[in-house]
Structure 1
Amino acid sequence: MPRVVLLGSSPGPDAAPGQSTPSAALTLPALPGCPTVIGKLHGQLASLDSAPVTIARSGDATAYRGFPGTLVETSDLAGDLRAVAEAVEHATENLLILPADSLIHDELIYQITKSKRGALALIVKEPREEDENGDAVVPNVPIDEAQPEIGDRVLEGLPVRVRAAKSRVISVGSAYHAVTRPNAVLLGPLHVHVKHAPTLAEAARELADMAHLLGPEDDLVQLLVLGLVRRGVSVGIRGRRDLFYRRITERSEADQAVADMAGFDEDKARLNNAVKGADGFFTTFFVSTYSRYIARWAARRGLTPNQVTLISIALGVASAACFATGERPGMVAGGLLIYFAFVFDCVDGQVARYARKFGVLGAWLDATFDRFKEYVVFAGLAVGAAVSGVGDVWTLALVALGLQSIKHLLDFSFGAANRRRPPSPLPSIPLSIAPDTPLRDALEQRKAARSSGIRNLLKMWTKAGRYRAVHWARKMIVFPIGERFAVIAITGALFDARITFLVLIIWGGIGATYSLTGRLMRSLA
């Protein structure tokens, strides 16, 4: 569970003129119990951290008293930054930092906190400028020649002083720090891995010492990310997508925000997020289109992921028994049963993610009995072939089994080795340097140093994945479990075991060769 830090004094969107109540203390009458913004947020975060740290200006502190946790009172931006440093420096768990005036979906909090990245920030990018034909307007000056600027544009009440790429923050600015072609703002929530907590504390203290150079419009979260990026921490990005987040600044905005939030289907988003986004072709188009609804039905009736796994195992064993008859009706029944065994194999993980019920036993059962179902079906097919007079296919069955076992071994061993491989460090520059030009130059030098024949070839192959045909071809060629079960179901029902094993061996051999080639190239790159 993360350590939660609430920024009650975060600058950023200005309060309405004449408004004496802190925005976090505004009530939300449209919600049950008429909670305040900070009260609702505390209720949402209670399961993550029962005693969060709240940092607020002394004049606003009254609005934050009476809630669980520690209240730290400050007098200015420098005090805010030093309070953040004190709160995070000795953290023993990951950090979730967010403004106290946040109105946010529970599911979005969950999605942010489950990130495995070193740091992750919620952002929104500026809409692309388009001409009268709807085409994107290309800047006259290439970004390599553009000069750093202190942006004065505003998006959602925040200054546009962030340069974000596709997957991470490249540069962050302030009233003192200039950014080359800023294109985004950091909305608020920031998740930081515990290993970066000392770095964040050090950066916050240094920024506190130079607070006289910063402006009243500089947002505290944006400043913290500035410190992380300037110290070489990779800060990943994500958008709101189909979920809601907004910072409340005034009474009328609070009412409108609650109405806007009600227009989002959080349960649908949670259900969609329960489905893996990187599944194979067969799983994506022939299973996940409806398995998520089975998962929701099962979760709402109290079925656990482990119970669903047992259903999948039972269907797999029943499929093997049907295949073992060697007769056409049994083969057709076996094909149907192995398909639904795979469906429930997907459902168990979706139930776990939807209901947020994870356990070591469940992970072990899922990984182990996927192989068990596959191999017991191999045995059933081989027995059925002998019974029906097709011939002895045990040799083919053993070859298919051995091929899949080797492929699984390669996948797991490469994954374990890759996790031990230290990431390539990002460049860092002092916070005292105003323009981000040295940082961008260092990034270009890093890119050039990392360029090699193999790495460039891998990049080209990655870019080719933008085309849907190439994307799905790459998914299918590795012969994932969905495609394997589909082959068993279809060939088993329509042909005989010999054809099934030949397809498994040929396709599996191609997939293993492709995977091994890719693993070797990535290891050498």
Structure 2
Amino acid sequence: MPRVVLLGSSPGPDAASGQSTPSAALTLPALPGCPTVIGKLHGQLASLDPAPVTIARSGDAPAYRGFPGRLVETSDLAGDLRAVADAVEHATENLLILPANSLIHDELIYQITKSKRGALALITKEPREEDENGDTIVPDVPIDEAEPEIGDRTLEGLPVRVRASKSRVISVGSAYHAVTRPNSVLLGPLHLHHKHAVTLAEAARELADMAHLLGPEDDLLQLLVLGLVRRGVSVGTRGRRDLFFRRLNNREQADEAVAEMSTFNEDKARLNNAVKGADGFFTTYFVSTYSRFIARWAARRGLTPNQVTLISIALGVAAAACFATGARPGMVAGGILIYFAFVFDCVDGQVARYARKFGVLGAWLDATFDRFKEYVVFAGLAVGAAVSGVGDVWTLALAALGMQSIKHLLDFSFGAANRRKPPSPLPSVSLAVSADTDLRAALEQRKIARSGGIRGLLKMWSKAGRNRAVHWARKMIVFPIGERFAAIAIVSAFFDARVTFLTLIIWGGIATAYSLTGRLMRSLA
């Protein structure tokens, strides 16, 4: 579980003008129980950290007393930064840092804290300027020639001093640190792996020593990300998407935010998030379009993921028994049953993610019995071939089984080895340097160095995946479990076991060759 740090007096335009109300004093009468903002947030975070650290200015501190956890009182921005450093320096758990005046969906907290990125921040980008025809206005000066600036534009009450790409924060500014063409703001929640805690503490203390160069409008959380980025930490980004987040500084903002939040369907977002985003073509279009609703129905009736797994196993065994008859009706019935066995194989994971019921036993059962269902179906097909007079196809069955086992071995062994591979380091730049010119130049040199040889070929192949047809072709060629079960169901229903096994062997061989080539190239890159 992450360690939670709440920023109770995060600087900003409203705070600088003295108009900000401590979030604990803001009530939300439209919500059940009429909670305060900070009270609601404590309730949401209790399962993550029942005793969070709250950092607040002395004048605001009384509003935060009486809540669980530890309250640290500060007097200025330098004190805020040093308090953050003290709170995170010795963390042995991951960190969740967010403003105490946050109104946020539970599902968004869950998604952010479950991220596998070493650092992840919630951002929003400035809308692109458009002309009267609706076309995006392209700046006259290319970004490579643009000069760093200290932006004075604001978005959602925060200074636009962040440059973000599609997946990562490139540069962050302040009243002292200039950014080349800023386009975003950091909204609030920052999730950080504990391995970066010391780096964050060191950067926060260094920024505290130069607080006299910073402005009253500088946001504390953006300053923390500034320190991380300047020290070479890769900070990933995500948007709000179909979930809600706002910072609240006054009564008007609170009322508007609660009204806007009520228009969002959090349960729908949670259900959509229960479906894995990297599934294959068949799973995406022929299973997940409706399996999520089965998962919600099962979860609301108390079915556990393990119970759904048992249903999938039973359907798989029943499919094998039908295939073993060798008769055409049995082959058709087997094809239908193996399809629904796969449907419930998807449902068990979706139930786990929707109901948030995870366990080692469930993960082991799911992985183990996926293979069991597949191989027992192979046996059923081989028995059915002998019964129906098609002939002895056991050699083909063993070849298909061996081919699939080798592919699984390649996938799992590469995954284990790849997790041990250290990430490519990002350049770092001193916080004492104002402009981000050196940082961007170092990033460009890194990009050039990584664009040649095998790494360049892999990058080209990744770019090709942006084309929808290429994307799905790449998904299908690796012969994932959805495509394998679909191939078994369709081919066995229309043909015989021999044709089914030949299909599995040929497609499986192509998939193995493709996967092995890709694994070798990525290992050498």
TM-score, normalised by the number of residues in structure 2: 0.99
- The 3 A distance-change label for structure 1 pair 18 and 70 is closer
CA contact (8 A) 1:53 1:87 kept: yes
Partner of 1:184: 184
- Give, in whole Å, the separation in 2 of the partners of 1:464 and 1:197: 37
SS of 2:427 mapped into structure 1 = coil
Deviation (angstroms), 1:13:
4.5
- Give, in whole Å, the separation in 2 of the partners of 1:171 and 1:299: 43
Q: Do residues 3 (structure 1) and 27 (structure 2) align?
A: no
- Give, in whole Å, the separation in 2 of the partners of 1:205 and 1:513: 52
- Give, in whole Å, the separation in 2 of the partners of 1:12 and 1:44: 24
Partner of 1:35: 35
Partner of 2:486: 486
CA contact (8 A) 1:13 1:249 kept: no
Partner of 1:167: 167
- Give, in whole Å, the separation in 1 of the partners of 2:55 and 2:509: 59
Q: Letter of the aligned partner of 2:147 in structure 1?
A: Q
- Give, in whole Å, the separation in 2 of the partners of 1:71 and 1:390: 76
- Give, in whole Å, the separation in 2 of the partners of 1:342 and 1:20: 54
- Give, in whole Å, the separation in 2 of the partners of 1:196 and 1:441: 24
- The 3 A distance-change label for structure 1 pair 147 and 17 is closer
Q: Letter of the aligned partner of 2:419 in structure 1?
A: R
Deviation (angstroms), 1:18:
7.3
- Give, in whole Å, the separation in 1 of the partners of 2:450 and 2:497: 49
Deviation (angstroms), 1:15:
5.3
Q: Do residues 141 (structure 1) and 122 (structure 2) align?
A: no
CA contact (8 A) 2:282 2:482 kept: yes
Deviation (angstroms), 1:259:
0.7
Q: Do residues 306 (structure 1) and 325 (structure 2) align?
A: no
- Give, in whole Å, the separation in 1 of the partners of 2:310 and 2:16: 57
Deviation (angstroms), 1:260:
0.4
1:412-457 CA-to-partner distances (Å, cap 9, x unmatched) read 0111111111111101011000000011111111122223221111
Partner of 2:421: 421
Q: Which moved more, 1:7-16 or 1:280-289?
A: 7-16
CA contact (8 A) 1:24 1:248 kept: no
> Map of 1:84-99 to 2, 5 A cutoff?
84-99=84-99
Partner of 1:391: 391
Q: Letter of the aligned partner of 2:117 in structure 1?
A: R
After TM superposition, the runs of 4+ consecutive aligned structure 1 residues lying more than 4 A away are 15-20
CA contact (8 A) 1:24 1:37 kept: yes
SS of 1:290 mapped into structure 2 = helix
SS of 2:54 mapped into structure 1 = strand
Q: Letter of the aligned partner of 1:379 in structure 2?
A: A
CA contact (8 A) 1:16 1:249 kept: no
Deviation (angstroms), 1:461:
1.0
Partner of 1:291: 291
Q: Letter of the aligned partner of 2:508 in structure 1?
A: G
Deviation (angstroms), 1:458:
1.1
- The 3 A distance-change label for structure 1 pair 418 and 18 is closer
- The 3 A distance-change label for structure 1 pair 213 and 512 is same
Partner of 2:154: 154
1:433-487 CA-to-partner distances (Å, cap 9, x unmatched) read 0000011111111122223221111111111111111110110011100000001
Q: RMSD over aligned Cα, in angstroms?
A: 1.1
Partner of 2:439: 439
Structure 1 gaps of 5+ residues are: none
SS of 2:29 mapped into structure 1 = coil
- Give, in whole Å, the separation in 1 of the partners of 2:408 and 2:436: 45
TM-score, normalised by the number of residues in structure 1: 0.99
Deviation (angstroms), 1:492:
1.0
CA contact (8 A) 1:162 1:185 kept: yes
CA contact (8 A) 1:16 1:250 kept: no
Q: Letter of the aligned partner of 2:60 in structure 1?
A: D
Deviation (angstroms), 1:135:
1.5
- Give, in whole Å, the separation in 1 of the partners of 2:365 and 2:272: 24
SS of 1:14 mapped into structure 2 = helix
Q: Which moved more, 1:278-287 or 1:136-145?
A: 136-145
Deviation (angstroms), 1:100:
0.3
Partner of 1:508: 508
Q: Letter of the aligned partner of 2:101 in structure 1?
A: D
Q: Letter of the aligned partner of 2:426 in structure 1?
A: L
Q: Letter of the aligned partner of 1:468 in structure 2?
A: R
- Give, in whole Å, the separation in 2 of the partners of 1:162 and 1:235: 12
Partner of 1:249: 249
SS of 1:186 mapped into structure 2 = strand
Deviation (angstroms), 1:102:
0.2
Deviation (angstroms), 1:17:
7.2
Q: Do residues 217 (structure 1) and 217 (structure 2) align?
A: yes
1:188-220 CA-to-partner distances (Å, cap 9, x unmatched) read 100010000000000000000000000000000
- Give, in whole Å, the separation in 1 of the partners of 2:85 and 2:315: 55
Q: Letter of the aligned partner of 1:344 in structure 2?
A: F
Partner of 2:355: 355
CA contact (8 A) 2:150 2:178 kept: yes
Deviation (angstroms), 1:521:
1.0
Q: Letter of the aligned partner of 1:512 in structure 2?
A: T
> Map of 1:231-380 to 2, 5 A cutoff?
231-380=231-380
Deviation (angstroms), 1:352:
0.5
Deviation (angstroms), 1:267:
0.2
- Give, in whole Å, the separation in 2 of the partners of 1:108 and 1:20: 25
1:127-147 CA-to-partner distances (Å, cap 9, x unmatched) read 111122211111111111111
Q: Do residues 59 (structure 1) and 54 (structure 2) align?
A: no
- Give, in whole Å, the separation in 2 of the partners of 1:422 and 1:272: 32
Deviation (angstroms), 1:278:
0.5
- Give, in whole Å, the separation in 1 of the partners of 2:324 and 2:38: 63
- Give, in whole Å, the separation in 2 of the partners of 1:182 and 1:24: 32
SS of 2:343 mapped into structure 1 = helix
SS of 1:144 mapped into structure 2 = helix
> Map of 1:429-468 to 2, 5 A cutoff?
429-468=429-468
CA contact (8 A) 2:331 2:492 kept: yes
- Give, in whole Å, the separation in 1 of the partners of 2:288 and 2:522: 30
Q: Letter of the aligned partner of 2:116 in structure 1?
A: K
